Amino acid sequence: MTLDLNCDLGENEPAACTRALIRSISSANIACGGHAGSVDRMEACVTWALAAGVRLGAHPGARDPGGSGRDPIAIAPPELQLLLLHQVGALDRIARAHHTRLHHVKLHGALYHASDTHQDLAEAYVTTIARWWPRLRIYARAGALVARRARTHKVPVWEEVFLDRAYRDDGTLVPRTEPGAVISDLRTLKQRLILFLARRQVCSVSGIPLNLPAQTLCLHSDTPDAVSRARALRRLLP
């Protein structure tokens, strides 16, 4: 398949930035009322994605006003199930009102990492999607727990590599609180993408090549100059 380029959107970035990014990606992950996102903004994102022919996905996050949904979180499996029903359900309803369907779901920030760390959360996540949205794909970190659980439950999964985030030697992401966690230099981003296209590898912070076969690549909307970077990287994709 052709590699997918996804971006987390509707996270309080300017509307002009959202629209410009949508024109440079193939999948939009729309914040749906947890860490960010209002009804009006969700509906606008659905409209813009439809007009651009971009895949539409839900991007649920924890309510965390001070940390944008990225601060560590303690959440029980039943709470995660309810959060998914609230947030994915909200965007799904808006999408249906515009005569379209969601393509995928991708957790945000703390939820993304918690579900890849705790077996019970990974199970709750995957089984909730399997029960209520059996046609949705899950976008999950390549080679990690959620991707494995999705395959076990025969839930479609697209494994994900982050172009603008640094990796540790074990394949986890460098926390944003540490220097160098976010990569914004365009030359470096291009080098990472070229390496991935050639070998399906990403280098860790210590230079170890990590084998990360993936179907989708992520660029964040809050990376500096995200629009110009998305345009440049999209041109390199086959």
Question: Given this model, what pLDDT does residue 70 score?
Answer: 85
Q: Which candidate, 215, 142, 138, places its Cα nearest to that of 173?
A: 142
Q: What percent of the chain has pLDDT over 70?
A: 98
Work out the average pLDDT over 156-182: 96
Question: Given this model, what pLDDT does residue 57 score?
Answer: 98
Question: Given this model, what pLDDT does residue 1 score?
Answer: 56
Question: Given this model, what pLDDT does residue 2 score?
Answer: 83
pLDDT tens digits along 29-87: 999 999 999 999 999 999 999 999 999 999 999 987 666 888 888 999 999 999 999 99
Work out the average pLDDT over 136-164: 97
Chain-centroid distance, C-alpha 28 = 8
Residue spans per domain, the chain: 4-162+215-221
Q: Give Cβ neighbours of residue 182 (< 8 Å, ≥ 6 apart).
A: 164, 165, 166, 176, 220, 223
Q: Which candidate, 141, 144, 77, places its Cα nearest to that of 108?
A: 141
Question: Given this model, what pLDDT does residue 157 score?
Answer: 98
Does residue 204 have a pLDDT over 60? yes
Question: Given this model, what pLDDT does residue 66 score?
Answer: 63
pLDDT tens digits along 88-113: 999 999 999 999 999 999 999 999 99
Work out the average pLDDT over 155-164: 97
Domain 4-162+215-221 = CATH 3.90.550.10: no
Question: Given this model, what pLDDT does residue 10 score?
Answer: 94
Q: Which candidate, 221, 237, 230, places its Cα nearest to that of 41?
A: 221
Mean pLDDT value across the chain: 95
Q: Give Cβ neighbours of residue 217 (< 8 Å, ≥ 6 apart).
A: 3, 4, 5, 6, 160, 161, 162, 163, 193, 196, 233
pLDDT tens digits along 210-236: 999 999 999 999 888 999 999 999 999
Question: Given this model, what pLDDT does residue 71 score?
Answer: 85
Instruction: Indicate if the alpha-carbon torsion angle 141, 168, 17, 10 is positive or negative.
Output: positive
Work out the average pLDDT over 165-190: 95
- Biggest CA–CA distance in the chain, Å, is 48
Question: Given this model, what pLDDT does residue 65 score?
Answer: 63
CB 27 within 8 A of CB 181: no
Question: Given this model, what pLDDT does residue 20 score?
Answer: 97
Question: Given this model, what pLDDT does residue 224 score?
Answer: 84
